[in-house]
Amino acid sequence: MQVKNQKIVVLGTGGTIAGESISASEGLSYKAAQRGIEVLLQSVAEIGQGLPETLASFQFESEQVAQLDSKDMDFATWHHLAQRCQAWLSHEDVKAVVITHGTDTLEETAYFLSQVIVANKPVVLTCAMRPANFKDADGPQNLRDALTVASVAQGAGVWMVAAGEIHHSQHVQKVHPTRINAFDSGEAGVAGTIKADQVTWRLDFKAVPKPSALTHLDLAEVTAWPWVEVIMNHVQAEAKLVDMLVKAGVQGIVVAGTGNGSVGIALKAGLMRAQAAGIQVCLASRCNQGPVVVTETHAFPVLAGLSPVKTRVALMLDILSKQQSH
């Protein structure tokens, strides 16, 4: 008999993968976050011929960390999720953590976790575009693939697995509201693929290391999260919103610039006033296929080529780590 001595821990947070539709033929009207993580795990063995060989030697543990539609994801849940990941990964017999999550804010959670977890083990997020009781639900296959990737991935890293693709937390973005393959990593491309339980990593894929400043961030000490907003450059972009935010006490602003991070004259002037008043302003691009290429004309810092929402996470963590080092 084979000895099962390593564990993969599966944490449930809700999302469509745990959702139930009103009818089995109509996949868009549904309620997310209805089924428990135990039930989702059971569905994995029901597809295909039992579990794939790579998973046969693992034990599985599951924990319901949250049960929400990820449009409502919040800092308290993030905090709890990061702590549960950290706690499980510190067990010697835990190989990896898999997280089921809604698709809407998955990329933000994935990036957040990639910056705060300290462990030399992988975390793999997965999701679904169709609710669990839909006739062609994609959740069971995605979870199966995520477990398989978790069983073979080595070292630190937060990954996302869906529709047969492995994406890195740095690059992945939801790019389509309804398509089954709703995620894309822009010009960075996928980190790998999984077909028929076989994982193929892209050999030339390089993950970006996390900033060393964050090594000292202690989430346990965080009591209040900084207020950071994302605003966009667009036709007739004015500074009114920036001025209102500054007046209301915003601590950071991310501007999603047009093209290669361009910002209209009026909005730029407002942001420069905010910056002069001590508010951290960062720049990203509205374009979702590639990062801003920094030039001398950029008035605001660009954080590691991240999307606007991930720049917001990075800026929040930067503000927190600065607060802690004082």
* 179 forms part of the interface with ligand ASP (CB under 6 A): no
* Interaction mask 72-111, ligand ASP, x per CB under 6 A: ------------------------------xxx-------
Closest by CA position to 154, among listed 184, 188, 191 = 191
Among 21, 62, 70, 77, binds ligand ASP (CB under 6 A): 70
- DSSP for 249-278? T--EEEEEEBTTTB--HHHHHHHHHHHHTT
Q: Rounded CA gap, 214 and 316, in Å?
A: 11
**CB-count burial class (<10 Å; 0-12, 13-18, 19+) for 205:** middle
- CB 275 to ligand ASP: min, Å: 33
Please state the φ and ψ torsions of residue 314, each to the nearest 5 degrees.
Answer: -60, -40
* 69 forms part of the interface with ligand ASP (CB under 6 A): yes
Nearest residue to ligand ASP, by Cβ distance, number only: 102
Task: Between 70 and 170, name the residue whose CB sits nearer to ligand ASP.
Answer: 70
Among 71, 91, 240, 322, binds ligand ASP (CB under 6 A): 71
Q: Rounded CA gap, 109 and 91, in Å?
A: 22
Among 7, 16, 126, 300, binds ligand ASP (CB under 6 A): 16
Among 44, 129, 153, 302, binds ligand ASP (CB under 6 A): 129
Q: Rounded CA gap, 233 and 133, in Å?
A: 41
**CB-count burial class (<10 Å; 0-12, 13-18, 19+) for 115:** buried
Among 15, 252, 261, 291, binds ligand ASP (CB under 6 A): 15
- CB 28 to ligand ASP: min, Å: 10
Would you mind telling me the total number of residues written for the chain in this entry?
A: 326
* Interaction mask 257-276, ligand ASP, x per CB under 6 A: --------------------
- CB 260 to ligand ASP: min, Å: 30
Task: Between 52 and 102, name the residue whose CB sits nearer to ligand ASP.
Answer: 102
Residue 248's SS3 state is: helix
* 141 forms part of the interface with ligand ASP (CB under 6 A): no
- CB 33 to ligand ASP: min, Å: 7
Helix, strand, coil share of the chain (percent; to 5): 35, 25, 40
* 127 forms part of the interface with ligand ASP (CB under 6 A): yes
Among 32, 40, 125, 320, binds ligand ASP (CB under 6 A): 32
Please state the φ and ψ torsions of residue 277, each to the nearest 5 degrees.
Answer: -85, 5
CB–CB of 13/126 below 8 Å?
no
Task: Between 71 and 240, name the residue whose CB sits nearer to ligand ASP.
Answer: 71
Taking residue 258's Cβ as centre, other Cβ atoms within 10 Å add up to 17
- CB 17 to ligand ASP: min, Å: 6
Residue ranges that bind ligand ASP, judged by CB under 6 A: 15-16, 32, 69-71, 102-104, 127, 129
